[in-house]
Chain A
């Protein structure tokens, strides 16, 4: 187990290194940040000075090595735009995104599993057909469009929920989150649901497929032949088998939620990492983009590891092997 984890972390370090290399050179190819940063009326001497200050006068290879040296000491460079350390900037925006992603994940589980289970147990029931039709909509409607429609309906027409922003936050158990205030929750509801929509549909379909398959397995019939109550047959025997694929997929999806909630954050003006990323990309703020993607790689690796460990808890047939992945 320990060897397994160490191996994983070493692999992760390699991936992070490769990632930084690709992104570092990639962003350089897109364009010259100087054009974006400098006042067009500045004279040549000023431009020279600015280039020197940002370290952009050096060959790109040297810049990269300089960057790596900084990373080794925890310095990811300063944002070209804000002049603040890139890492600090990202960590500052992280809680808002984590909060959004977590809420979306919880919604996906709380809504997706019961609905999927119902649809799987009673495939011919009209309600099941409605659930499945709804999940197709959830899959195929574009997130940005649904987000806009939600704003029109709930914020403009009905006026129930605020359209943008994060709202008040409160500190509880050392965590600062808008989930602890009424105002914060009302701000959180729409973006979280918007972000969760796709995941809910995914969970519904996974759960339903799992339930329909497991229903006809001998161990379910045997559990019934033992005289167990339906609640236990479904809640323990069926659900525990279904959870294996659901947990795997949800784990990976959680990484996606964290890394790429860009669209939802932009629409609802949610001050998270996604919004920061898109702004940094537009302004070719290389240190922020590189640092962001490196952090995301680390997050993905950690989530994958957590899923693997969870998997081995759920499915006793899976033992984490000391070798390989």
Chain B
């Protein structure tokens, strides 16, 4: 059975200026131990998708439609207490900015022990030992000492390791990692990715790695979903999507990644700006920035399956000539 099935998920924010359709029809399935990269620009709805799964969408936001099934159990509309039981226990999340995610006035051990005791009746000492072992597993030297520290006494990379350790404390089946390396130095990035991947493999946990950096997921994910303006516009196995992108937006994203064999050349950029989520263009949301757009794009593209295991929302995919 798949760990997670998301179908037709729609999460909207009812602001004074209007309704922001942050997530507007997202579908994907995650198998046990699978790593999925969720890629897109800022504001494309990646993070909101993550929070929707955890049931942590705050007002004025609300899940207005679709279903999220964890091991077949419907989470949309599930009681708060049930969601709390799953959070941090079966489904855990790692946040973007390690400087902000740990409570500045509580010691590391307090923040780790409480995460265990929220889900299990464990004596404090046993929980403390589990926390210590957890820190060891993410490569933190002298974990006993670190447990007694306050967050501000640790470096950014160290803090992100701590949050990863917290996420894995209760051996969850699903980890949602929301750009966990964006705020870190490049050298630390690689270590964090390595640690997260390693713990994931060891525990057989599935992972959703949210990022705007295709280069990061290329080496990490089994499958990639590309999100644009609240929808998944292209999905497929990582190698297929990277080698043969179909959606013009994916092509644009790949073109803007710097690499060694493009040295000296100008990087391609996607023309235009990220769309205003309050006033999305009719039809395909990418239409106004797309060189291949035609009259057909005034209608909303449905999901097609151009090849086995791949999904696409586009009338004029790459590799197929634009009809005149």
Contacts and interface: CB of A to CB of B under 8 A. Distances in A.
Nearest to B172: A227
A218 B106 CA distance: 14
B111 to A, nearest CB: 8
B150 A227 contact: no
Contacts of A236: 106, 114
Binding site secondary structure of chain A = helix
B169 to A, nearest CB: 8
Interface size grouping (class) on chain B:
20 to 34
Highest count of chain A CB atoms <10 Å: which of B102, B106, B163: B106
Contact of B118 (A218, A219, A229, A314): A229
Contact of B84 (A217, A219, A222, A229): A229
B152 A316 contact: yes
A217 B93 CA distance: 16
Interface in B105-121: 105-107, 114-115, 118-119
B152 A223 contact: no
B104 A226 contact: no
B41 interface: no
Nearest to A124: B59
A219 B87 contact: no
A30 to B, nearest CB: 49
A240 B110 CA distance: 13
Contacts of B106: 236-237, 240
A221 B106 CA distance: 15
A219 B85 contact: no
A229 B85 CA distance: 9
Nearest to B97: A218
Contacts of A314: 105
A261 to B, nearest CB: 33
Given A228-B114, A228-B118, A316-B104, A218 B95 contact: yes
A222 B105 contact: no
Q: Considering residues B85, B88, B89, which has the most beta carbons from chain A within 10 angstroms of its beta carbon? A: B88
A63 interface: no
Interface in B49-87: 54, 56, 84-87
A244 B102 CA distance: 17
A219 B56 contact: no
Interface string B155-176: 0000000010010000000000
A149 B89 CA distance: 56
Contact of A222 (B85, B86, B101): B101
Nearest to A224: B56
A227 B100 contact: no
B209 to A, nearest CB: 16
A10 interface: no
A146 to B, nearest CB: 36
B84 A227 contact: yes
Contacts of B84: 227-229
A228 B166 CA distance: 12
B166 A226 contact: yes
A317 interface: yes
A181 to B, nearest CB: 40
B88 A218 contact: no
A217 B102 CA distance: 10
B9 interface: no
A225 B107 CA distance: 18
A225 B101 CA distance: 10
A314 to B, nearest CB: 7
Interface in A65-89: none
A58 interface: no
Interface in A192-213: none
B227 interface: no
A62 interface: no
Contacts of B54: 225
A223 B95 CA distance: 11
Contacts of B268: none
Interface in A150-190: none
A232 B118 contact: yes
A113 B166 CA distance: 31
Contacts of A244: 105
A244 B84 CA distance: 29
A28 interface: no
A226 B103 contact: no
B92 interface: yes
Nearest to A221: B56
A218 B85 contact: no
Contacts of B88: 225-228
A315 interface: yes
A6 to B, nearest CB: 27
A241 B100 CA distance: 13
A232 B56 contact: no
Contact of B87 (A218, A227, A237, A316): A227
A218 B56 CA distance: 12
A219 B101 contact: yes
Contacts of B114: 226, 228, 232, 236
Contacts of A315: 104-105
Contacts of B85: 227
A241 B97 CA distance: 19
Nearest to B101: A222
Given A219-B101, A229-B84, A232-B118, 4 more contacts: A221-B56, A222-B103, A225-B93, A317-B150
20 contacts: A218-B97, A219-B101, A219-B104, A221-B56, A221-B95, A222-B101, A222-B163, A225-B54, A225-B93, A227-B86, A227-B87, A227-B118, A227-B119, A228-B114, A229-B118, A236-B106, A240-B103, A241-B103, A314-B105, A316-B104
Question: What are the 3 closest A-B residue pairs judged by CB atoms, nearest first?
Answer: A227-B88, A226-B88, A218-B100
Interface of A: 217-219, 221-229, 232, 236-237, 240-241, 244, 314-317
